[in-house]
Structure 1
Amino acid sequence: MESNADGARAGKAVPAGANRWTMRDVMTFVIFNIVIIMVTMIVKMAEDAVLSPQNTFFVGSWLFPLVSTPFYLVMADRIGKRGVLSGSILLFGILYTFMGGVYCAPVAVVGAVVGELAMWGRGAYRNIVRAAAGFFVYWATFACYGIVPYLLFRDAYMEQLGAYYSASDVAAMVAQYTELPWILLMLALFAAGTALGAVVGAKFLKKHVRKAKIA
C-alpha cells in the first residue's frame, strides 16, 4: 500500500488527516532539533575558541547552516507535515530567550510565521529545494537575534559587550549588525551555507534515507 509520504512525493491527493502529527513525528522532531542545536553550539564554541568576535561573522554565517542543513532536510523529509519549520524556529528562539535574549521570542514568532507561509502547499517539506529555502528563513531569523539588540538598545548592549571584548571588536560587531552592506553579506553567507548543506543533505537523502525507505 502506498504511504502518505509516497503519495505526497508523487503529487497525489493524501487523506485529510495526513497532516496530523504522530508520536513518531514528534520524537523525530525533538531528536533532530536537539542534534541541530547541539551541532550548532559545538561549532559556535569551537569558532569562539579560535577566532576573534569580529572574525566569527565571516565563518559562522556559512558554517552553521552548512553543518545543520543535512539534518534538517532528513527531518523535514521524514515528517513531511506542516509545522516542521515553524516549530524548529520557535524551539531555537525559546532557547535563546532562556539564555537571556528576551527579545528573541517575538523575533522567533515572526520568523515562524514567515517560514511556515514560505512552506505552504502540499509536499513542500519533501521538496529539497523548497525545504532548503525554508531553512534559510530559520537562519535569517537567527541573524535577527544579533541585529535586534543593536536596534532596540544599542548603547546598553555596547556597554555590556565592552565588558568582555576590546573596543575594536565591539566597533566591528556594531558595524556588522547595523550597516546594510554587512547585513546583506551575512544573509548571503547564510544562503550559501544552506545551499551547500542542501547539496550534501540531498545526496544523503537520495542515497540512504529514501532508498532504505526510512522516511
Structure 2
Amino acid sequence: MQAQTLAVPSRWTMRDFITLAIFNVIMLIIMTFCPAVSIVSPLLVGGVTGLLNGPFYMVMSGKIRKRGTLFLTAIITGLYFVGFGYANYLLTLAVIGLIGELILWGKDAYSNSIRNAIAYAVLYVGYTLCGVVPLIFFRESYMATLEKGYTPEQIADMLYYFDTPSMILLMCAISAAGGLLGAYFGHLMLKKHVKKAKLLDCQHQTRQIP
C-alpha cells in the first residue's frame, strides 16, 4: 500500500457532512448484520466488520480528506449503540476516535493511505474493546444491561470471550488484521477512482483546446 499525497481543503462543507452521513449509514447497516458471524466464532465479528467496512471508510475519508473524519465516525457508531442501551460504548469509541486522530495528526494526513489504514484498524480494535471496557470500569451496570437482553448461557459465553485476556488479545488482533485488509481494498478502490477522475479531467481539458 503506497501513501497518497493530495491537497486537503481546510473547512468542512455541507457536502462533506452529507458524505459522512451516507457512508456511515452504510457502515452501520453492515455492522448490524455482522454479529451473525458469531455463529461461526465470536472472535471473527470485529475482523469481518472491519474488513467489510474498510472500503467504504477509505472511499469516504478519501472524498472528505479533513481532520475529524475518523473521530466523527467513531462518535456516530457510539451513538448508534447508545440507542440500544449501551451508553458506555460511546465513551470507549470517543477515546479511540481521539487516538485515531492523533495517528492522523498533521497536514494532509487523511491523504496518507498508510496512516489512514492504521487509524482505521485502531478504530476496529476499539470496536472490539467496547465489549471489554464496560466489564472493567462499569461491570455491575453493564451486567445489569446484559441480563435484560440475554440468557444466562449467552452471558456466560460472552464473558468467556470478553473477560478472558487471551481471547481479548486474539479478538483485537483479528479486528486489526480485518481493518487493515479492508482499508487496503478501500485504498485500491480509491486509487482507481482518482485515476479515473484524472483521466476524465484530462479528456475534458483536451476537448477544450481549439
TM-score range, shorter chain: 0.7 to 0.9
Residue by residue over 1:149-169, the C-alpha shift from the partner in whole angstroms, topping out at 9 and shown as x without a partner, is 3223445645664673353x4
- In the aligned structure 1, how far is the partner of 2:123 from the partner of 2:76? 11
Instruction: Give the TM-score taking structure 2 as reference length.
Output: 0.82
Report what 2:19 is aligned to: 28
- In the aligned structure 2, how far is the partner of 1:103 from the partner of 1:43? 21
Other structure's SS at 1:76 match? helix
Residue by residue over 1:129-152, the C-alpha shift from the partner in whole angstroms, topping out at 9 and shown as x without a partner, is 111111122212212221123223
Report what 1:4 is aligned to: none
Runs (4+) off by over 4 Å: 155-163
AA aligned opposite 1:187: C
Other structure's SS at 2:107 match? coil
- In the aligned structure 2, how far is the partner of 1:81 from the partner of 1:162? 41
Answering whether residue 47 of structure 2 is matched by residue 47 of structure 1, we say no
Report what 1:86 is aligned to: 71
Indicate which of 39, 44, 58 corresponds to 1:73.
Answer: 58
Report what 2:127 is aligned to: 142
CA contact (8 A) 2:120 2:180 kept: no
Report what 2:205 is aligned to: none
Change (3 A) 1:149 1:95: same
Other structure's SS at 2:131 match? helix
- In the aligned structure 2, how far is the partner of 1:190 from the partner of 1:133? 12
1:50-199 equivalences under 5 Å are 51=39, 56-154=41-139, 157-158=142-143, 161=146, 164-165=150-151, 167=153, 169-199=154-184
Structure 1 gaps of 5+ residues are 1-7
Distance apart, 1:211 and its partner CA:
1.6
Distance apart, 1:101 and its partner CA:
1.0
Distance apart, 1:61 and its partner CA:
2.3
Distance apart, 1:188 and its partner CA:
0.3
Moved more, 144-153 or 69-78: 144-153
- In the aligned structure 2, how far is the partner of 1:36 from the partner of 1:199? 16
Percent identity for Structure 1 against Structure 2: 33
- In the aligned structure 2, how far is the partner of 1:88 from the partner of 1:165? 31
CA contact (8 A) 2:161 2:168 kept: yes
AA aligned opposite 1:9: T
- In the aligned structure 1, how far is the partner of 2:118 from the partner of 2:184? 12
Structure 2 gaps of 5+ residues are 199-210
Distance apart, 1:123 and its partner CA:
1.9
Other structure's SS at 1:103 match? helix
